[in-house]
Structure 1
Amino acid sequence: MAEPTTKHAGADDIVDDMKSLSLGTSSHIYKNIMLVVKLGDASLVYLTRELIQWMLTNFPKITIYLQDVFDGSKELDAKELIADCKTRHERLQYWSVGSIKEVHENIDLVITLGGDGTVLFVAGLFQMKAPPIMSFALGSLGFLTTFNFENFKKDLKTVLNGENRLNVRMRLFCKHFTRKPNSVDEETGETVYTYEVAREYHVLNEATIDRGPCPYLSDIEIYGDGTLFTEAQGDGVIIATPTGSTAYSLSAGGSLVHPRVNAIAITPICPNTLSFRPIILPEDMVLQIKVPVTARGTAWVCLDGKVNFELAKGDYVIMAASPFPIQTVESSAAQYIHSIRRTLNWNRRMPQKSFSDILSPKNKVKYDDCQRAKLPIDVVDKIED
Structure 2
Amino acid sequence: MNEQDLMVARALAAESRENSPGGSPGPLRKTHLTKVIDKLQTFRRTRSLNAPSPIQQFGPCGRIMKNSAMVMQIQDPASQRLTWYKPPLTVLVIKKVHDAQILAPFVQLVHWLVHDKSMVVFVEAAVLDDTLLAEYGDFTSVKERLMTFRASTDDLTDKIDFIICLGGDGTLLHASSLFQQSVPPVMAFHLGSLGFLTPFEFNNFQEQVMNVLEGHAALTLRSRLQCVVLRKSQDDNKDKKKPTTILVLNEVVVDRGPSPYLSNIDLFLDGKHITSVQGDGLIVSTPTGSTAYAVAAGASMIHPSVPAIMVTPICPHSLSFRPIVVPAGVELKSLRDHVRVSGAVDMRPGSDLGLVRLARRVPPLER
Q: TM-score range by the shorter chain?
A: 0.7 to 0.9
Bigger relative contact order (CA 8 A; separation at least 6): 1
Report how far residue 312 of structure 1 moved: 5.7
Aligned to 2:154: 100
Aligned to 1:318: 357
Report how far residue 286 of structure 1 moved: 2.2
Match of 2:82 among 26, 32, 35: 26
Report how far residue 56 of structure 1 moved: 2.6
Deviation digits for residues 204-223 of structure 1 (CA, Å, limit 9, x no counterpart): 10011111211111111111
- The number of residue pairs the alignment matches comes to 293
Report how far residue 20 of structure 1 moved: 6.2
Deviation digits for residues 218-258 of structure 1 (CA, Å, limit 9, x no counterpart): 11111111111111001111001000000000000111110
Tell me whether 1:49 sits opposite 2:102 in the alignment. no
- 2:219 aligns to what SS in structure 1? strand
Report how far residue 132 of structure 1 moved: 1.0
Match of 1:35 among 86, 90, 93: 93
Map 1:161-240 to 2 at 5 A. Answer: 161-182=214-235, 196-240=241-285
Tell me whether 1:287 sits opposite 2:327 in the alignment. no
Deviation digits for residues 58-110 of structure 1 (CA, Å, limit 9, x no counterpart): 313x111122124365543599537868xx954x2222214531x43120011
Match of 1:259 among 289, 304, 313: 304
Instruction: Kindly indicate whether the alpha-carbon contact (under 8 Å) linking 2:169 and 2:195 is maintained by their aligned counterparts in 1.
Output: yes
- 2:160 aligns to what SS in structure 1? coil
Q: Residues 21 and 51 of structure 1: is their aligned pair in 2 closer, same or farther, counting only changes over 3 Å?
A: farther
Task: Report the RMSD for the aligned CA atoms in angstroms.
Answer: 2.8
Instruction: Kindly indicate whether the alpha-carbon contact (under 8 Å) linking 2:340 and 2:353 is maintained by their aligned counterparts in 1.
Output: no
Match of 2:117 among 56, 59, 80: 59
- 2:91 aligns to what SS in structure 1? strand
Which letter maps to 1:147? F
- The whole-number CA distance in structure 2 between the counterparts of 1:74 and 1:303 is 30
Higher strand share: 1
Report how far residue 182 of structure 1 moved: 3.2
Deviation digits for residues 137-157 of structure 1 (CA, Å, limit 9, x no counterpart): 111111111111122122112
Match of 1:249 among 288, 294, 299: 294
Identity %: 34
Q: Residues 182 and 307 of structure 1: is their aligned pair in 2 closer, same or farther, counting only changes over 3 Å?
A: closer
- The whole-number CA distance in structure 1 between the counterparts of 2:239 and 2:147 is 47
Report how far residue 179 of structure 1 moved: 1.7
Aligned to 1:303: 343
TM-score for the superposition, normalised by structure 1? 0.69
- 1:170 aligns to what SS in structure 2? strand
Which letter maps to 1:110? I
Deviation digits for residues 269-310 of structure 1 (CA, Å, limit 9, x no counterpart): 11111110111011xx32221112xx4x62121135x74455
- The whole-number CA distance in structure 1 between the counterparts of 2:82 and 2:303 is 21
The unaligned stretches of length 5 or more in structure 1 are 1-15, 184-191, 329-385
Instruction: Kindly indicate whether the alpha-carbon contact (under 8 Å) linking 2:229 and 2:353 is maintained by their aligned counterparts in 1.
Output: no
Q: Residues 159 and 136 of structure 1: is their aligned pair in 2 closer, same or farther, counting only changes over 3 Å?
A: same
- The whole-number CA distance in structure 2 between the counterparts of 1:318 and 1:272 is 23
Match of 2:126 among 69, 72, 90: 69
Instruction: Kindly indicate whether the alpha-carbon contact (under 8 Å) linking 1:223 and 1:289 is maintained by their aligned counterparts in 2.
Output: yes
Which letter maps to 1:157? M
- 1:144 aligns to what SS in structure 2? coil
- The whole-number CA distance in structure 1 between the counterparts of 2:235 and 2:238 is 5
Aligned to 1:9: none
- 2:304 aligns to what SS in structure 1? coil
Q: Residues 25 and 53 of structure 1: is their aligned pair in 2 closer, same or farther, counting only changes over 3 Å?
A: same
